[in-house]
Structure formats: structure tokens, C-alpha cells
Amino acid sequence: MVDVVSVGEILVDMIPVDTDLYNMRFGGAPMNCAVACARLGLRVGAIAAVGDDPLGRFLFNTLEERGVDVSHVKRVKGKRTTIAFVVRLPHGEREFFFYRKPWLPTADTELVLNEDDFEYVRGAKVLHVSGFALSQEPARSNILELVKYAHENNVKVSFDPTYRPDVWESEEVAREIYEKLISLSDIVLATLREYEFILGTRDLRRIGMEMRRRGVRLIGVKMGRRGGALIRGERGCFMETYDVPVKDTVGAGDVWNAAVIYGYLRNRDLGDVLALANAVASLKCMHVGAIEGVPTIDEAMNLIRRQSNIRPENLQLT
């Protein structure tokens, strides 16, 4: 039995060190989240597909070394492991381009599930899903069926859209699939830009209203260097980021998700969950790579105590 199962893409991030030099790192939003959940003390499993190549072995071994159950991570013969190149933009933002479908076939899109995978998820408390993984078949249909199964068997569904236009055939298809996932989700953790893409608004009150109307119980809004927000029922909190030296923001949103899931499972107060999520993401940003520098609970709490002047503020949602 595990607390959380993360399903979706697993890939190699190529992160720029300087103009001409790149560093190979572990990546894939739901798997970054899985590693962070394990670091925070949760029991975590992964369902994913890697290539039958040295990069696939690197990803598989990294997951295992970081305390994630890899018994449902599949090696796809004849396929290469997906690669993402990270391009840094001004103000610490970044974008990605991918060696993956629709440009060429790679392992993560070839995820095909079996009966054992469904049974595995039925024993979990939360299924965490990435929207990126739903951009191509056969992974799309398989993951959709898994989410429906989880929803029907009282496993809470956490959804991170992870929208990357480069891997979708059209915006219309992406929105349609996202709406399906949201209708089955208890938790949605998205960026302001993703909410604008899905809902047509960046207004937190409207985001809260629209997502509650769709049946979502816990709504997370990631705002990058501005901070983040959480909304549950009629209550909402906003919080700025902690003051740390930032080296790399890749994976910050994924570990933020992990802290929210941890707080949700531990029944923590909404403001406490937001403070923890911001602390975990801030500490990660002090290191290069999506899973480097992910703190323990004690390390995150130390940052919260040291910078107690930064705290959650209530949002006016009505």
C-alpha cells in the first residue's frame, strides 16, 4: 500500500549550465512530484515508461534510489527515452522543447497499463496525474481509464495540467482532455497561465468559482516568483515566495504539488499547507535540477520559522 501513485511522463532534462554546456538531469513533472513526496515522508509509487537504453536505466535507478516504488515502471523495448531541452528566459522563467511525439516516437507516450497497475492504484490514497502525458496515444487512453477507475474507487485524483503546446496536436484537443480530467479530479494544481488557457481567466475568484463548479475540492494556483494560492470551499489563501537565492526554477511547481498533496493527506490547515508548499519550492530553487535540493519536512519548517514575516494572507473570494 502506498500513499501516492504518480503516473505520466518520465524524461531526461537537459539543463543549460552556460551558453554552450548542458547538464543531464532527472525530469518529468509527475515523477519529480513522486520524488518530492517520498522526500517529505510519504509512501510513493510510480507508473511510467522508460526506453530500453542507458537514459532509461538512469531514470529508473534514480527513482529507486530516491525511495519511490518502481515495480510498475515499464521498460519499452525498441523505444528511446524522452529528452527535454530547457531554454532559460528572462526573469527566471523557462520553456521546453522535446524529443518526443509528435516529432518522433519515444517511450513515455507508449505507456500501456495492465490489471496489476489498476489494482496498485486502488490501494493508494491519491493518484497524481500529469496532463502532459495525455497529449499522445496510447498513453492518453490508458491514463484516462486509470483516472476513471481511481475516481470510481474513492482514490483521490490530483491533476497538474503541465501544458506544453509543443506536444499537442491542437489547443482544442488539449482543452477537451483537460476538462475531462478536471471533472474527475479532487485536486487541481495549475499555473495562472494554465488556468487562463483552460478557463479564459487569471482572476483568482473566478478560477475558484469555475473549478468548484466542476467539483474540484482543492485548487492550487502557481504564480512563479510571485508566489502561490490555495482555495478550498469558500476559503482562499495567497502567499509570496520566500527570500532565497535562486539558481534554477525547473521542477519548482512539481515539488510545490508534492507539498500540497502531503498537507492534504495530513489534514493540515490551508494556510499551513501553502506555507509548506512555498518553502519546499523555494528551497528546491536554490539547486540546479528538478529534484535536487528537495527538502525534508524539518528543513522546510526551518525556513518557515526563519522567515516568519512572510505568511499566508486570506483571499476575498466572494
Place of cell 500513499: 3
3-state helix, strand, coil in the chain (%, to 5): 40, 25, 35
The residue range of the domain holding 192 is 4-314
Tens digit of each residue's pLDDT, the chain (318 residues): 899 999 999 999 888 877 678 888 999 999 999 999 999 999 999 999 999 999 999 999 999 999 999 999 999 999 999 998 877 666 556 677 788 887 888 999 999 999 999 999 999 999 999 999 999 999 999 999 999 999 999 999 999 999 999 899 999 999 999 999 999 999 999 999 999 999 999 999 999 999 999 999 999 999 998 999 999 998 999 999 999 999 888 899 999 999 999 999 999 999 999 999 999 999 999 998 999 999 999 999 999 999 999 999 999 887
CATH number where 141 lies: 3.40.1190.20
Under 8 Å between Cβ of 260 and 218: yes
DSSP characters for 210-274?
HHHHTT-SEEEEE-GGG-EEEEETTEEEEEPPP----S--TTHHHHHHHHHHHHHHTT--HHHHH
Q: How far apart are the first and last CA of the chain?
A: 40
Q: Which of 291-299's residues contact partners 24+ apart within 8 Å by CB, and which partners? A: 291/25, 291/26, 291/32, 291/35, 291/36, 291/62, 291/66, 291/251, 291/255, 292/25, 294/35, 294/36, 294/39, 294/255, 294/258, 295/39, 296/39, 296/40, 296/41, 297/40, 297/41, 297/262
Number of Cβ within a 10 Å radius of residue 72:
17
Q: List Cα–Cα distances, 278 to 55, 74, 100, 184, in angstroms.
A: 31, 33, 31, 26
pLDDT given for residue 156 in this prediction: 98
Tally of domains in the chain: 1
Q: What is the H or E stretch that residue 197 is in?
A: helix 192-199
**Amino acid at residue number 267:** N
pLDDT given for residue 91 in this prediction: 56
pLDDT given for residue 248 in this prediction: 87
pLDDT given for residue 215 in this prediction: 97
CA distance 171 to 163: 10
pLDDT given for residue 94 in this prediction: 65
